[in-house]
Amino acid sequence: MPFLYSLAVSVAKAMIPLIAKSTKTKAFVAGRRALWTQLKGISQNKKVVWMHCASLGEYEQGLPVLTALKNNHPEHFYLVTFFSPSGYQVRKNQGVADLVTYLPWDTKADVKRFIEMVNPIMALLIKYEFWPNLIRELYRKEVPMYLIAGLFRQNQHFFKPWGNSQRKLLRGFTHLFVQNENSLQLLQSIGVHQVSISGDTRFDRVGVPKERLAFMETFVGNRKCIVAGSTWTEDEVVLAKAIKQTPKDWCWLIAPHEMHETKLKYLMAQLPKESLRYTKSDEAAFEACTVLVLDTVGILGRCYPYASLAYVGGGMGTSGLHNILEPAAEGVPIIIGKNYSKFPEAKDLIAVGSVVSVANPEDCSEQLSILQENDTLREEKGNANKNYVRTNQGATVKTLSLIDLSL
């Protein structure tokens, strides 16, 4: 099995550059070509702490731990790698890490070269990042490995009769920090005992005071605002009816997940003609428009404090529900799509009643109307969301209690 895996990765490494057509795939290829030059920027006089995450969501989970480590040990060099171009492009210039780059291909040769150049004193792998050759090389080099905010389910290969090679990977970790009791029990059932429940580190990332946004002050004014964050086309189809029925004292901020021009032009064509794009319009015009499209990255989280309601995207299709904790921490009632079974926080808050799941445009429009018309109901649901976030904070402290000892 390891041989076949390595062969498949080698074939992919050779073929993908030849067939890459999309902007994202081309960035994926170019980023890995530039990797080796970028790694030469690592300070030779400092110990390297390395964190790897697949994309933006995982980065948000790892960031509280990385930030705390850097605050406690500023003398070290901090490296962050991404698998996805979307994660790298958004966070390549962030201020916590000393260097942000891509993860190499998971071939034995590339992994060995990467570990030799980085020479980390520890590796922090976030949530689902299990690259077999990488993990084996880290274990061979005796580099402490920690899984941060891990989440396991019964249908994963680790827990299948044929998953022995995958189970061996887990036993190579120094410690696995998981989000819930179910993950703990699953791991213990296959003989993985260096594990503890830390919770979800994202709870420690949200709820902190945010810098105000002048354009949101202008746009919202005295109206109530619905912030639709990280929407995909499937979400926007469901929202279309509700947007057309928007009361005069309400407005919409829509922040699509995909930011390429073709997508944005298509979205604008589906919206009321007076809708505006953030980067293409004069801020003075925002006050008069009902729908503003946030066609830039990095500030969505700072928009949620202005929301009276939030719709969080990803749950109407198969891309995966985006972060509902940001609006929840601000005390905002939330509506999501129908696909949320892999997201414990969504299941928890739906059970509480402070997050509502909708399946179609009619359902969405009805639920939004109910909340728009009832200030008391919005306040109750918003407070329940905020309390849920506060109750679940503290995962970073639990994680650091073990990780920090190895520095």
Cβ–Cβ < 8 Å for 66, 53: no
pLDDT at 19: 86
Supply the angle between the helices 2-19 and 23-39 in degrees, to the nearest 10. Answer: 110
Give Cα 405 to chain centroid, integer Å. Answer: 27
Residue 8 sits in the same domain as residue 156: yes
**pLDDT, greater one: 24 or 246:** 246
Does some domain include residue 208?
no
Does some domain include residue 91?
yes
CA dihedral 159, 163, 169, 170 (to 10 degrees): 10
Can you tell me the distance from the alpha carbon of 335 to that of 324, in angstroms, rounded to the nearest whole number? 9
Residue 56 sits in the same domain as residue 118: yes
DSSP label of 47: P
Residue 370 sits in the same domain as residue 401: no
Cβ–Cβ < 8 Å for 282, 288: no
pLDDT band at 23 (very low <50, low <70, confident <90, very high): confident
Summarised one tens digit per residue, pLDDT across range 123-170 is: 999 998 999 999 999 999 999 999 999 999 999 999 999 999 999 999
Residue 365 sits in the same domain as residue 228: yes
Residue 107 sits in the same domain as residue 238: no
Taking 80 as the threshold, does the pLDDT of residue 390 lie above it?
A: yes
Does some domain include residue 205?
no
Residue 146 sits in the same domain as residue 219: no
Can you tell me the distance from the alpha carbon of 332 to that of 304, in angstroms, rounded to the nearest whole number? 8
Taking 80 as the threshold, does the pLDDT of residue 404 lie above it?
A: no
pLDDT at 387: 97
When pLDDT is averaged across residues 313-323 and rounded to a whole number, the result is 94
Summarised one tens digit per residue, pLDDT across range 220-259 is: 999 999 999 999 999 999 999 999 999 999 999 999 998 8
Cβ–Cβ < 8 Å for 191, 166: no
Domain that holds residue 33: 2-200+394-406
Summarised one tens digit per residue, pLDDT across range 31-45 is: 888 999 999 989 889
Does some domain include residue 206?
no
394 phi/psi in degrees, rounded to 5? 120, 0
pLDDT at 210: 85
pLDDT band at 405 (very low <50, low <70, confident <90, very high): low
pLDDT at 240: 94
Residue 190 sits in the same domain as residue 300: no
CATH of the domain at 367: 3.40.50.2000
Q: Which residues contact 365 (CB under 8 A, 6 or more apart)?
A: 241, 242, 245
CATH of the domain at 86: 3.40.50.11720
pLDDT at 90: 75
Does some domain include residue 130?
yes
Residue 342 sits in the same domain as residue 366: yes
60, 147, 145, 146: which is closest to 96 by C-alpha? 60
Taking 80 as the threshold, does the pLDDT of residue 106 lie above it?
A: yes
Q: Which residues contact 200 (CB under 8 A, 6 or more apart)?
A: 61, 149, 179, 344, 345, 392, 395
Summarised one tens digit per residue, pLDDT across range 160-217 is: 999 999 999 999 999 999 999 999 999 999 999 999 999 999 999 887 888 999 999 9
pLDDT band at 1 (very low <50, low <70, confident <90, very high): low
DSSP label of 204: G
Does some domain include residue 245?
yes
Taking 80 as the threshold, does the pLDDT of residue 93 lie above it?
A: no
When pLDDT is averaged across residues 91-107 and rounded to a whole number, the result is 88
pLDDT at 27: 84
DSSP label of 141: T
Q: Which residues contact 44 (CB under 8 A, 6 or more apart)?
A: none
Does some domain include residue 209?
no
Percentage of the residues of the chain whose pLDDT score is greater than 90: 81
60, 69, 194, 49: which is closest to 127 by C-alpha? 60
The three-class DSSP label of residue 275 is coil
Residue 224 sits in the same domain as residue 332: yes
Residue 59 sits in the same domain as residue 129: yes
Summarised one tens digit per residue, pLDDT across range 42-80 is: 988 999 999 999 988 899 899 999 999 999 999 999 999
Tokens of 109: 């040769």
Residue 69 sits in the same domain as residue 183: yes
The number of distinct structural domains making up the chain is 2
pTM score, two decimals?
0.85
397 phi/psi in degrees, rounded to 5? -60, -45
Does some domain include residue 325?
yes
Residue 234 sits in the same domain as residue 358: yes
As a whole number, the mean pLDDT across the chain is 93
Q: Which helix (H) or strand (E) holds 148?
A: strand 145-150
